[in-house]
Structure 1
């Protein structure tokens, strides 16, 4: 059994120099029926809501900076966000009638106001559903309708898109505009006025009735078939995943009067990775969160040069950028201690290029998780330098690897990975058929990924069982693009696959069968799809073929397309 001693800030700083005690004991993590237990002691999960959890230690760091924009320097202390989120919650409940369990949408880039909106919604009794600011009106319309959104937070840049989406779904909901640089657009409400209201009665918050088992977050995750599904993450799911990172997997140093770790929040908070791991969890332990509104080389490098970052949570494209960009130099990483990379596998060559720029004692590891697991499921604690595996199951988590007949297989055997734990989602919103397909025995989540687990419990992701295309670590479901393509009047049949791309990892390619006696250019279809999806989902290449290869049950044989045409 692997054991890591609890440590102070001092031992954390020097952990990879040998101060931290790391040892592998012989106790087996595998049970007799081939279930893998986490090699770490279970953690206790507080029976509270996320809105209560994040403020448990407010008295330890009230005046420390909580959120700061790396571009504008706009910033808030912990006690300022506490007060603003309380006022916002009261206003949402009083002025807009947000009730217990109502969905409220956030369509914002990474701004220092993001968590104020999140906690304010939770304070009001609502649940948070997040949208990518790059979504088209069609995508916004779909999620607003599916989640039954009652109100939406936006920036000025997306107001017109949201208004168009509300027309499409025949809804009239309040639009709250986060705007600090000009007049409000017609038909929107000032975020600033809602959080700075001195006259709202906070007693209305006493009406809120939410428990640990209630849904807190409702992100939408792209499945392997059909359209994105609402992932119901309860307060307990989110808090469990936070607590799982507070002991053996603690990468941060404790916040004290004299020390506060800096964390770059460059991964989007509309994604569960950015929202849960980078924002909510690190906020709950008092770190300084430095936000980057969007990835741009110049502003990214400027942020690295300005702040002494101690932690970096990254996706593969950013690791590649850091390792190859000439303006990213070693002196920017002098205070760096821990780096975790998730969302997609990262080749060793890219890891080595990045590590050549950072101090030898920096802990680097790949991690694994899903939106449906809150999201973190496996990682390596400090002291391990195995860059090809994605680590051990977090505390309270159990794993299985199954064959095609749902039989558990033993160590070093490849099969589909299943996960059970308190961080696993409640289920997909109002989608019993999808829940039936994704859960085994109602508790084991099928990940759709092929994996193998060694005798010590370390996990290797062997291949992707899913057919999702990964573009810059964003999930692009082929089925969604196929549905959009089929809306074009000239398209008879279509299949979309991911093909290798040096810059983005993969890019979507469509194979299209046209209707008889109809001609259309590939450019016309590319533009048709581009108008209806976010930029990262856009099809980059089209081939016209006579028929889509399928198996007897009608399932597209994507591998045949890849082998024959790519």
Structure 2
């Protein structure tokens, strides 16, 4: 049976019905645990790679991924075959075994899913790297993840080689380069995925289970340096399946219809990886990839490729509402805009809607984190309250607690705790951090301050965690403090986030210099800039006599604020 596409009117009518049901359904238990207002879903007992390909026969010839810059594209059947070809060669030529960690360092390109699914099909664990990382950041992740192979976009290869030299590691580097010549001392990905002489029978020896770790992105958790987040197949399948019920945002793919999703959010991040790539490819949608957010390519993609669903972070909403280049034509095919990663200012929403000049489309805000694979809550499509991040998605339970872990009631403010099948297995090789974030038999401490109203709508009001959010990206102060202390003229340092009109927040450093030093602030800025990704760089230095600390030695950032 062919399922009908959701027209805009049907989408709104459906969500109005759902919201009406939600309003009248009691989501609070007697002990003040908030349950999802939506029906629970059954989680298929399979790996994430099997989940993505399970309906392949319904759309084999439809486009899976199309590059919005080069127009390079792959159909679903091409992507399936090439990912399996890569998996076969990883096992045969590189001796990849189950649970071997393989790094991917690349911007959003059509080959990204091929590499991801190829590694998973070979039994490996994918760890994703930000393509703008410096060699120092790459070195650290390679070392703590014990990476066996790096698969990198050609422009990232020099950084990877420098990182491997720093780490004193000699591992294979596979270059994602469409045309020759290859970077020196690398293997061609294209040769590995286009190899016509492979025997797929070798893949029968791969045995992966739902509770095995599949993807390991990095997050800073509630505090401290980045940690490897172990997301199992079940975590990822669950979060994809949780998005297919009453909270579904896409039209079904049929013989005559295929939604187009603009994939500009980075696929190395859990937001882009699960919500944009895994969930939408499992439903047969077309991904339109952009390597990064650039106004010209972004606007060209909207106008030429007619995207139906936009997944964005607040800075993109700001751009869509303020740029003089934006016209109603850019919104001509847009049916839904979903924002996440940071709070969405209502004023920016109003400005964006004014640019559409009366054309109606849904605006949804979601909340999540890498540790939740990542989606936790989603607002109803017809919700015009942009302060809320919506209701818990299916199978998710929430608690708001005080500092003694007592449950609080409707409207009371405390730390948000989360439970569900999408919550990570834990931080890799970090029992201390796991003890800190998991309490009361599996409840995850989000580190976010929230309140939940009587209808189950969640409002995030602040953060317990010390992370700085720059354009939606996590910047851990501890990481920058460690870099600062490597400078020979710096005795002590502390970093906080300060408000910024364009990025949301930006890092500011307080520095105590070594006696007799005359180091200048611009020298410190340049020192840090060489060692961290651009969004982490410090632009403001304040010299102080001492850093305020507690008796136990923790930095009292609230005093610096």
What TM-score bracket applies, with the shorter chain setting the length?
over 0.9
Q: Is the 8 A contact 1:14 1:20 kept in 2?
A: no
Q: Is the 8 A contact 2:15 2:381 kept in 1?
A: no
What is the Cα deviation at residue 551 of structure 1? 2.2
Q: Is the 8 A contact 1:223 1:477 kept in 2?
A: no
CA distance in 2, matches of 1:123, 1:367: 30
Tell me which of 135, 141, 144 is aligned to 1:143.
141
What is the Cα deviation at residue 469 of structure 1? 0.8
2:301 is the alignment partner of 1:303 = yes
2:552 corresponds to = 553
Q: Is the partner of 1:21 in helix, strand or coil?
A: helix
What is the Cα deviation at residue 384 of structure 1? 2.8
Q: Deviations over 1:219-262 (max 9, x none)?
A: 01023433210000000000000000001110100000000000
Q: Is the partner of 2:53 in helix, strand or coil?
A: coil
Q: Is the partner of 2:273 in helix, strand or coil?
A: helix
CA distance in 2, matches of 1:404, 1:19: 36
What is the Cα deviation at residue 8 of structure 1? 4.4
Tell me which of 1, 11, 16 is aligned to 2:12.
16
What is the Cα deviation at residue 84 of structure 1? 0.2
1:65 corresponds to = 63
What is the Cα deviation at residue 520 of structure 1? 0.8
Q: Is the partner of 1:9 in helix, strand or coil?
A: coil
1:415 corresponds to = 414
| Residue correspondences, number | 556
1:539 corresponds to = 538
Q: Deviations over 1:373-426 (max 9, x none)?
A: 000000023333322100000000000000011100000000000000000000
**CA RMSD, aligned part only?**
1.4
Q: Deviations over 1:55-105 (max 9, x none)?
A: 111011000000000000000000000000010000001100110011111
Q: Is the partner of 1:448 in helix, strand or coil?
A: strand
Q: Is the 8 A contact 1:12 1:20 kept in 2?
A: no
CA distance in 2, matches of 1:19, 1:185: 51
2:511 corresponds to = 512
Q: How does 1:222-237 map to 2 (within 5 A)?
A: 222-237=220-235
1:244 corresponds to = 242
Compared with structure 1, are the counterparts of its residues 18 and 77 closer, same or farther at alpha carbon in structure 2 (3 Å cutoff)? closer
Q: Is the 8 A contact 2:242 2:393 kept in 1?
A: yes
What is the Cα deviation at residue 305 of structure 1? 1.0
2:402 corresponds to = 403
CA distance in 2, matches of 1:403, 1:485: 35
Tell me which of 351, 354, 357 is aligned to 2:352.
354
Q: Is the partner of 1:383 in helix, strand or coil?
A: coil
Q: Is the partner of 1:357 in helix, strand or coil?
A: helix
Higher mean C-alpha displacement, 177-186 vs 142-151:
177-186
Q: Is the 8 A contact 1:224 1:479 kept in 2?
A: no
Q: Is the 8 A contact 1:311 1:338 kept in 2?
A: yes
Q: Is the partner of 1:551 in helix, strand or coil?
A: coil
What is the Cα deviation at residue 18 of structure 1? 7.5
1:215 corresponds to = 213
Q: Is the partner of 1:354 in helix, strand or coil?
A: helix
Q: Is the partner of 1:389 in helix, strand or coil?
A: coil
Q: Is the 8 A contact 2:318 2:352 kept in 1?
A: yes
CA distance in 2, matches of 1:387, 1:14: 22
Q: Deviations over 1:251-277 (max 9, x none)?
A: 100000000000000000010000110
1:260 corresponds to = 258
TM-score normalised by the chain length of structure 1: 0.96
1:3 corresponds to = none
What is the Cα deviation at residue 315 of structure 1? 0.3
Q: Is the 8 A contact 1:478 1:496 kept in 2?
A: yes
Q: Is the partner of 1:332 in helix, strand or coil?
A: helix
1:35 corresponds to = 33
Q: Is the 8 A contact 1:484 1:532 kept in 2?
A: yes
- The gaps in structure 1 that reach 5 residues or longer are 1-6
Runs (4+) of structure 1 exceeding 4 A deviation are 17-20
Compared with structure 1, are the counterparts of its residues 288 and 502 closer, same or farther at alpha carbon in structure 2 (3 Å cutoff)? same
Q: Is the 8 A contact 2:427 2:434 kept in 1?
A: yes
Q: Is the 8 A contact 1:363 1:385 kept in 2?
A: no
Q: Is the partner of 2:126 in helix, strand or coil?
A: strand
Compared with structure 1, are the counterparts of its residues 378 and 18 closer, same or farther at alpha carbon in structure 2 (3 Å cutoff)? closer
Q: Is the 8 A contact 1:17 1:361 kept in 2?
A: no
2:140 is the alignment partner of 1:104 = no
CA distance in 2, matches of 1:442, 1:489: 45
1:454 corresponds to = 453
1:465 corresponds to = 464
Q: Is the 8 A contact 1:252 1:311 kept in 2?
A: yes
CA distance in 1, matches of 2:540, 2:247: 42
Q: Deviations over 1:305-358 (max 9, x none)?
A: 111111111101111111111112111212211111000001111111112233
CA distance in 2, matches of 1:280, 1:241: 10
Q: Is the 8 A contact 1:37 1:399 kept in 2?
A: yes
CA distance in 2, matches of 1:381, 1:90: 43
Q: Is the partner of 1:401 in helix, strand or coil?
A: strand
- The gaps in structure 2 that reach 5 residues or longer are none
CA distance in 1, matches of 2:399, 2:8: 32
CA distance in 1, matches of 2:171, 2:155: 18
Q: Is the 8 A contact 1:16 1:361 kept in 2?
A: no
Compared with structure 1, are the counterparts of its residues 18 and 185 closer, same or farther at alpha carbon in structure 2 (3 Å cutoff)? closer
1:201 corresponds to = 199
What is the Cα deviation at residue 17 of structure 1? 5.9
Q: Is the 8 A contact 1:314 1:339 kept in 2?
A: yes
Q: Is the 8 A contact 2:338 2:365 kept in 1?
A: yes
Q: How does 1:153-232 map to 2 (within 5 A)?
A: 153-232=151-230
What is the Cα deviation at residue 12 of structure 1? 5.4
